[in-house]
Amino acid sequence: MRLEEISNAIPVLPIRSDGLIRYFGQSKATFRTSGKSWHPKVYELTASRVRKMQIWTSPEGLLLTAKRPGWPKGKMELLRFTQFADF
């Protein structure tokens, strides 16, 4: 995995926090990137530092999107994906 800083004003800052995860089921919406499509599993993370965050993963567990509702810039999304081996 590679974390890339957009600018010095917005540094990459990993946060560790304890919280609750709720599973909402598999989305009917399709997530597409790099010629691959998934119907993601949708979770909601509630933790003290991030408050609420919606997380979409592939059936294999690959993080597709993580976003904070109501925060237009509070989103992380998979843009490119290259699969070298089956998992």
Residue 71 contacts by C-beta under 8 Å, 6 or more apart in sequence?
none
pTM score of the predicted model: 0.67
pLDDT tens, position by position, 31-59:
988 888 999 999 998 877 667 888 999 98
Give the C-alpha separation, 20 to 39, whole Å: 23
Residue 22 is predicted with a pLDDT of 93
Residue 1 is predicted with a pLDDT of 45
In the predicted model, is pLDDT for residue 13 greater than 90?
no
